[in-house]
Amino acid sequence: MASDNPLNDHLDDDDYPAYTMGRAAEMLGTTPAFLRAIGEARLITPLRSEGGHRRYSRYQLRIAARARELVDKGTPIEAACRIVILEDQLEEAQRINAAYRHAAGESADRVESESA
């Protein structure tokens, strides 16, 4: 059932660009300049409103928060962005591998039950 308020349809959407740059910076305890810098480093690409303003999703804010942790520990911003990208790629590869192992296990179980 669709909601009367279209915004309610996006409340659970991790990728919905709900946050302005100012609000995102405030939530992260950083500056808009930091968000622009990680955008320039291609860590995140905010969507743009019709007026051209940057909008960030919760997923992007989590990525930005991780980069900020690294920068706060002294890691240069470009290196922090690369580390976060590699961590994200590793996590995705591990998810894919787990799905393959699960599918392979189910296939092996089916073969065993068919041959019994």
**pLDDT, average across residues 20-32:** 95
What whole-number distance in Å separates Cα of residue 103 and Cα of residue 116? 20
pLDDT at 4: 58
Q: Which of 1.10.1660.10, 3.40.50.300, 1.10.357.10, 3.90.650.10 would CATH assign to domain 14-115?
A: 1.10.1660.10
pLDDT at 1: 46
**pLDDT, average across residues 80-92:** 96
DSSP state for residue 33 in the 8-state scheme:
H
pLDDT at 10: 63
Residue 116 pLDDT level (bands cut at 50, 70, 90): low
DSSP state for residue 52 in the 8-state scheme:
S
* Three-class DSSP category at 19: strand
What whole-number distance in Å separates Cα of residue 108 and Cα of residue 114? 10
